[in-house]
Amino acid sequence: MRSTLKYLTAALLATAWSASSLSAKTLVYCSEGSPENFTPAMNTTGTSLDAARPIYDKLVRFVPGTTQVEPSLSEKTDVSADGLTLTFHLRKGVKFHSGVNGFTPTRDMNADDVIWSFDRQANEKNPWHKVSGGSFDYYSDMSMPDLIDSITKTDDSTVVIKLKQPNAPILANLAMDFATIHSAEYADFLMKKGTPEQFDQIPVGTGPFSFVDYQKDAVIRFKANPNWFGGKPKVDDLVYAITPDASARYAKLKAGECQVMIAPNPADLAAMAKDDGVNLMQQAGLNIGYLALNAQKPPFDKPEVRKAIAQAIDRGAILKEVYQGAGQQAKNPIPPTMWSYDKDAADIPYDPAAAKAALDKAGVKDLQTDLWWMPVQRPYNPNAKRMAEMMQADLAKVGIQAKLVSYEWGEYRKRAQAGEHQMALLGWTGDNGDPDNFLAVLLGCGKDGKPNGQNIPKWCDAKFQEDVNKAVTLTDQAERSKLYVDAQKIVDAQVPWLNIAHSTVFEPISKKVSGYKVSPLGAHEFWNVDVAE
Amino acid sequence: MSAMTSPTTMSAPTPLAAFWSAFKENRGAVIGMCVVISIVLAGIFAPLLTSYDPLIQYRDVVKVPPIWAEGGSWAHPLGTDPLGRDMWARLVYGSRLSIFIGAAVMIVSTGVGIIVGLLAAYRGGWVDVLTLRVMDLIMAIPDILLSIMVIAVIGPNLTNTIIAIMVVYLPRYVRLMRNTALVELKKDYVTAAKVSGVLPMRLMLSTVLPNCLAPLIVQAALGLSDAILAAAALGFLGLGAQPPTPEWGSMLADAKDLIQSNPWVMAMPGLAILILVLAINLMGDGIRDALDPRLRRS
Amino acid sequence: MLRLLLNRIALTIPTFVALMFVTFVMLRLVPGDPVEARRGERGLSPEMHAKALHDLGLDQPVSAQFGNYVWGILHGNFGTSIVSKTPVTQEFFTLFPATVELTLCATLFAILVGIPAGVYAAVRRGKFFDQALMITALTGYSMPIFWWGLILILLMSNTLHLTPVSGRVDLIKYYYPQTTGFLLIDSILNGPKGAFLDVVRHLILPSIVLGTVPLGAFARMTRSAMLEVLDEDYIRTAKAKGLSAFRTINLHALRNALIPVVTSIGLQMGSLLAGAFLTETIFSWPGVGHWMVQSIGRRDYPVLQGGIMLVALVVMLLNVVLDMTSGLINPRLRHEK
């Protein structure tokens, strides 16, 4: 009986879909994989976050294509002079999607929804905290438990967040996907129905598109939300065609089966640039790929040895053969599109002779070491294996024998964080566009003088730490910038890691598509996108 | 069919000579054998066949196409890979690995198969039941999945590839050995030997085993190609020999992203695998027909 | 007959239980865990890690976990995916039709091409055509299918644009409810015009790739079975009686030659399923193979465990059925032990 009903609804949906698609504009996005679920706060992968994004809004959002923050569900945000109190004035008359999973909202979005959305993540006693075995990774990654003192409502359209200490990046954090606003009413509705787990499978939000249907490993369908506060999106139907293989995605784009695709094969970029039907969009990615040199393992404890290794590796060749030109050689640990980037820093040139001389001088002979490469493709490193093979050959030229090592991805990172490696490839993609999200996270050390978990080079420097710690509490960007430039200079002199490259994010789209912006944060957004017939 | 031109000597031909005279009748098998021998020789004498080191990267000549394609050059007759390593050198040195893996799997599984199979056949009872159940268990899991799981537990490298493939293919040898031995054990000469007090160990090894050899050799010959294919598949999934080792399967996997832009980098190693496996199978067919025409239908 | 059937099924039970134990233990021995695996470069503190493991019930002793697992299976519960939080059986049965459809089409392709090729080669024994066919069959039999798949994609899809590169149907043009999960059937039942053909188009390449190895095997087997039958007395009698060559082959020889071939089609099913794992990975085919290979990287224990058990169950049942049917076709086998 239940299954018949399911098919009946599916059939109804299908007719609704095909009836509308006769005259409707459809945008198809070739995505990489199936989402884990549709609750952004429980996910960390770009694939899952992208899948949920069309459905929801946040209090504030990133301007498409940038890392600037603009108002969204919160029309106006006041920050108190001491930086400890944030007051959000909510937009009035915002409607949740109606008709998804049999749910019809009876009221507009209000302060209760905001509080509910954060309480589910923060409060272990919240009955919804455990639903779907939830772990709210980003909430703790962004140190929200340490930052937020309280979230309260003054009235239905005003929410006040009190902080424990001033924190410059907090608004940018709230523009991230984990800070999505859910419907508390939908939650109650499902709880009464006895199917709470559907909350994370059949999503209801206020966003530009509402959820229609999802078939694992095949497709996700959305339709435009005519009541969206920003006006109805320009396309009527939005489809994510799940296509794990990059070559297959390109073939579909060429055949007109999708109009936007993620993550092209670097080797195919040249062909795409020449393709008449394809507009190859690009944007400097907010990322860094690096080779960490474990400062706690001799001889890498000596800055001159680390510098010699940096000189020995031909990054020009790596950029050409691994990134296929889709990246720029890095000289600082933060990407050049980020404010406070140290433009005047001098890069370390490729100079094997100097490297060899420096190694001799430091008394390093017949060095046998390991070189770790991660087993997966990452935005900042399209092919770690190929890169490692090239580095191995370069190091051999200066008399260093590097053994290539790899582990399963989770295991790899765990061991690297534990500092088991001597040299390890890794990288980082920024979350919120703030330099703190790179410098403090990736090279920071705790109060005890021990490196943080994410500090893969296991390198600590007192002056660097002082700069970074101070900068995060200030609100004036110019002042912060000065401190971060200073911190970068320390890193450049000490070479805890070899800056390899900032990859460029390429996104081929059909020439028929207009209004699409490549996000430096790796997000894919479609509310302002149009397709020509 | 042409009549067998058997030598008209008085004494019966030795088994080996009989085998050879039957084997050489099969043209395909002889060609297959020649190809296999040349590949083995190429592997052994790799340094004589190429002046390039398979690991040296010539960064200024990356992704050179093979000689017959536009832009090819005699400096690198089969082209170079994305790191500028000579494709011919990598293929030639890589043949060592493929053949080594195949042979190692074949020898070890045959050895273990003989011991376990004979034991099960001779002891019978719970030993036999247990052996059969364990083999059923292994065969119930799709083979590629099982080898992936084994590798996931013991870690990816060359030795472990051999172990993983061996585990997967063991049941074939064990069951074959057990079944043939059971048939042999029922025969009169075994009963006679038993009655005359031959020790069990000797009975199995010197009486039963030689009579079971024919199907076992056929299985080993065909198992060789299966093992090479399986090793390549694991290499393709990134679970075989680790970089920068020139293993054919992993070479193919590494060039997968070049399928559109530089397809030959991907095509070459696969072609090498196909040629080697085909040659071994041709030879295996010949061996099977020569040893025991009754096994033809497999 | 019924007793034999029950006997066969009873024999698979200990194997099934042992398999349950072995997969469970093996998966726990694999380094890494699902919590670490999903965290990318971020990592997490030991406290958070412990909490996450606790939430998943992975901090209990392995014996207790195994107990829970067996208890679940006895109640038909194969666990819940750690990644998607949906029941393993539900995911399995959504994806399994895709695998079955692919496997059946590949088998069909192998039979429809392989058997006639084998018959024809046997009839023209020793001629050039026979030799050419048999070399082709052996090449197919020796094919590394992961390479073959890529080469075919390169030729057929990327160069000639004849077939689509991945997926089961063009989801944009053809959106219709999937009642059975078998798109060939669904497209006829509910699909708009052209949907069926589109499904077929998508099936062509993966079926060829997956069917190549069995195709080689069937052609070779049919040929040798035919040769044997053609030599037998009753065929000679038939020929002597003046039956046309065509009728002889069709009516008498083929029917007898097919018995061993049919049995071996069944034997090929297991290895076809294994081949489906690679084929699905290459063609992004949303089936169980693709699903399980992905789950290894994610350390999604319940999916791997449940998936292996369910696949093994299907293979074992298939074998029982085959044993029984070959007994029906060939009564001699029934009495042999």
For A342-394, write each residue's pLDDT tens digit.
999 999 999 999 999 999 999 988 899 999 998 888 889 989 999 999 999 99
What DSSP string describes chain B? Answer: -PPP-----SSPPPHHHHHHHHHTT-HHHHHHHHHHHHHHHHHHTHHHH-SS-TT---GGGTTPPPTTSTT-BTTBTT-B-TT--BHHHHHHHHHHHHHHHHHHHHHHHHHHHHHHHHHHHHH-HHHHHHHHHHHHHHHHS-HHHHHHHHHHHH-SSHHHHHHHHHHHHHHHHHHHHHHHHHHHHTSHHHHHHHHTT--HHHIIIIIIHHHHHHHHHHHHHHHHHHHHHHHHHHHHTT-SSPTTS--HHHHHHHTGGGTTT-HHHHHHHHHHHHHHHHHHHHHHHHHHHHH-GGGG--
Using CB atoms, which chains have 3+ pairs under 8 A with C? A, B
CA B8 to chain centre: 37
**Residue A230: half-sphere exposure toward Cβ, Cα within 13 Å:** 20
In this predicted model, what pLDDT tens digit does every residue of B63-98 receive, in sequence order? 888 888 888 888 888 999 888 899 999 999 999 999
Residue of C12, C139, C142 to mutate when probing chain B, most B C-beta within 10 A: C142
Q: How many Å apart are CA C22 and CA A235, to the nearest integer?
A: 52
Neighbours of chain A (3+ CB pairs under 8 A): B, C
B122-139 average pLDDT score: 87
Average model confidence (pLDDT) for chain C? 82
- A326 interaction partners in chain B (CB closer than 8 Å): none
Cβ separation A37–C84 shorter than 8 A: yes
- Give chain C positions within 8 Å (CB) of A221: 175
A247 touches B at CB < 8 Å:
yes
Residue A4 pLDDT class (50, 70, 90 cuts):
very low
Q: Tokens for B139?
A: 């065969």
Q: Which of B238, B243, B257 comes nearest A265 by C-beta?
A: B257
pLDDT band per the 50, 70, 90 thresholds, residue A38: very high
Three-class SS state of A526? coil
Q: What is the per-residue pLDDT for B203?
A: 79
CA-closest candidate to residue B87, choices B213, B231, B258: B258
Per-residue pLDDT, A180: 96
Kindly report the average pLDDT of chain A as a whole number.
Answer: 89
C102 vs C98: CA distance, rounded Å: 6
Averaged over A206-222, what is the pLDDT?
Answer: 92
Residue of A517, A496, A505 whose CA lies nearest to A444: A496
Conformation bin of residue A363: beta by default, left when phi > 0, alpha when psi is -120 to 50: left
Which residue in C83, C96, C98, C84 sits closest to C166, CA to CA?
Answer: C98
Nearest CB partner across the interface for B59, out of A247, A267, A317: A317
What is the identity of the amino acid at B105? V
Rg from Cα positions in chain C = 24
pLDDT at position A389, please?
94
Nearest CA in chain C to B2: C126
Which structure tokens are listed for A120?
């589910």
Q: What is the pLDDT of residue C269?
A: 72
At residue C250, the pLDDT reads 66
> Could you tell me the residue range of the domain that residue C107 belongs to?
88-336
- The residue assigned the tokens 């890691």 is A497
Q: Which residue has the higher pLDDT, A191 or B237?
A: A191
Higher confidence at residue B285 or residue A112?
A112
Query: Whole-angstrom Cα distance, residue A467 to residue A485?
Result: 9
If one counts every other C-beta atom within 10 angstroms of the C-beta of residue C250, the result is 13
The separation between CA C79 and the C-alpha centre of its own chain, rounded to angstroms, equals: 23
Q: Which residues of B touch C31 (CB under 8 A)?
A: 152-153, 155
**Inter-chain residue contact C165 with A137, CB threshold 8 Å:** no
Here the CATH number for the domain that contains residue C220 is 1.10.3720.10
Chain B residue numbers with beta carbons less than 8 Å from the beta carbon of A252 are none
The string of pLDDT tens digits covering residues C288-332 is: 988 888 888 778 888 888 888 888 888 778 777 777 766 665 555
Find the closest chain B residue to A373 by CA distance.
Answer: B243
Residue B28 has pLDDT above 90, yes or no: no
- For C153, which DSSP code? I
Which of the residue ranges A8-12, B29-33, B205-209 would you say has the lowest mean pLDDT?
A8-12
Confidence check: pLDDT of A83 > 70: yes
8 A C-beta contact, residue C107 and residue C272? yes
Chain C contact for B37 (CB, 8 A cutoff) = no
Query: Taking CB atoms and an 8 Å cut-off, how many pairs form between chains B and C?
Result: 120
CATH no. of B95-295: 1.10.3720.10
Which tens digits make up the pLDDT trace of A158-178?
999 999 988 888 999 999 999
Contact B141 C311 (CB under 8 A): yes
**Element of type H or E holding C46:** helix C46-55
Name residues 184-223 of chain C within 8 A of B (Cβ). 221
The 10s digit of each residue's pLDDT in C255-298 is: 777 777 777 776 677 678 778 888 998 888 889 988 888 888 77
Put simply, the answer to whether C48 touches A36 (Cβ < 8 Å) is no
What is the model's pLDDT at position A182?
96
In this prediction, residue C246 has a pLDDT band, given cuts at 50, 70 and 90, of low
Q: Tell me the two tokens of residue A401.
A: 């024998």
Rounded Cα distance between C227 and C122, Å, is 6
Residue with tokens 């800056």: A499
- Report yes or no: C265 at the B interface, CB cutoff 8 Å: no
Distance CA(A471)–CA(A167), nearest Å, equals 9
Please identify among residues 121-160 of chain C the ones whose CB lies closer than 8 Å to any CB of chain B. 126, 131, 134-135, 138-139, 141-144, 146-148, 150-151, 153-154, 158
Task: Please state the φ and ψ torsions of residue A24, each to the nearest 5 degrees.
Answer: -90, 155
Whether pLDDT at A15 is above 70: no
Q: Angle formed by the axes of helices A462-473 and A477-494, to 10°?
A: 160
List beta partners, residue A293: A423
Question: Structural domain tally of chain C?
Answer: 1
Give the pLDDT confidence score for residue B6 in this predicted structure. Answer: 45
Owner of token pair 């296991």 = A458
In the prediction, which pLDDT does A356 show?
A: 94
CA distance A512 to A532: 5
Instruction: Look at A393 and B56 and tell me if their CB atoms are within 8 Å.
Output: yes
Question: Is A452 part of the contact surface with chain C (CB cutoff 8 Å)?
Answer: no
Inform me whether the pLDDT recorded for C3 exceeds 90.
no
What residues of chain A, 36 to 65, have a C-beta less than 8 Å from chain C? 36-37, 44-45
Give contacts of A239 with chain C, Cβ < 8 Å.
171-172
Distance from the Cα of A513 to chain C's closest Cα (Å) equals 17
pLDDT in tens, A464-497: 999 999 998 888 889 999 999 999 999 999 999 9
Looking at residue A5, what is its pLDDT?
A: 43
Lowest mean pLDDT among A223-232, B243-252, C152-161: C152-161
Nearest Cβ partner for B267 among C22, C142, C151: C151
pLDDT per position as a tens digit, B52-71:
889 888 888 888 888 888 88
Chain B interface test: which of A321, A387, A404 (most B C-beta within 10 Å):
A321
- Lowest average pLDDT, out of A319-323, A428-432, C82-86, C326-330, goes to C326-330
In the prediction, which pLDDT does A178 show?
Answer: 94
CB spacing of A321 vs B244 below 8 angstroms = no
C-alpha to C-alpha distance for C113 and C36, rounded to whole angstroms:
48
Which range (A78-87, A108-117, B135-144, C126-135) has the least confidence?
B135-144
Give the pLDDT confidence score for residue B191 in this predicted structure: 82
Residue A230, pLDDT > 80, answer: yes
Nearest CA in chain C to B270: C147
Cα–Cα distances in angstroms (integers) from residue C272 to residues A316, B159, C70, in the given order: 46, 27, 29
Which residues of chain B make contact with C131, given a CB cutoff of 8 A? 28
Higher pLDDT, A24 or A238: A238
Residue appearing with tokens 């295991």? A411
What confidence tens digit (pLDDT) does each residue in A42-51 have? 888 888 999 9
List of residues 6+ apart from B52 with CB closer than 8 A: B76, B85, B86, B88, B89
Structure tokens at A266: 């670097």
Q: Which of B85, B66, B55 is nearest to B262 (CA)?
A: B66
Asked if B152's CB is within 8 angstroms of A389's CB, the reply is: no
pLDDT of A186 strictly over 90: yes
Is B171:B109 a contact under the CB 8 Å cutoff? no
Least confident of A424-433, C198-207, C322-331: C322-331
- Compute the average pLDDT of residues C103-131: 90
- Write out pLDDT tens, residues C48-80: 788 888 878 888 888 888 888 888 888 888 888
d(CA A36, CA C295): 12
Cα C269 to its chain centre, rounded Å, is 6
Report in angstroms the alpha-carbon separations of B157 from A379, A410, B154, B234: 27, 19, 9, 10
H/E stretch holding A293 reads strand A287-293
Q: pLDDT > 90: what percent of chain B? A: 31
Q: What is the mean pLDDT of residues B137-149?
A: 83
Helices B87-123 and B125-140: crossing angle in degrees, nearest 10, is 150
Share of chain A above pLDDT 70, in %: 95
Interval A241-275: pLDDT, tens: 998 888 888 888 988 888 999 988 888 888 899 99
Compute φ and ψ for A360, nearest 5 degrees.
-60, -45
More confident residue, A13 or A216: A216
Residue C5 lies in a domain: no
Question: What ipTM does this complex have?
Answer: 0.85
Rounded to 5 degrees, φ, ψ at A333 are -75, -10
Residues 6+ positions from C337 with CB-CB distance below 8 Å = none
**DSSP codes of every residue in B210-230:** HHHHHHHHHHHHHHHHHHHHH
End-to-end C-alpha distance for chain A, whole angstroms:
42
- Identify residues of B whose CB sits under 8 angstroms from chain A CBs: 55-57, 59, 62, 82-83, 152, 238, 242-244, 254, 257-262
Q: How far, in Å, CA of B211 to CA of B208, rounded?
A: 5
Which of B53, B55, B56, B57 would you mutate first to test chain A, the one with the most A CBs within 10 A? B57
Q: What's this model's pTM, rounded to 2 decimal places?
A: 0.85
Lowest mean pLDDT among A88-92, B277-281, C7-11: C7-11
Q: Which of the two residues, C163 and A399, has the higher pLDDT score?
A: A399
Residue position matching structure tokens 């199979």: B117
Q: How many helices (H) and strands (E) does chain A have?
A: 17, 20
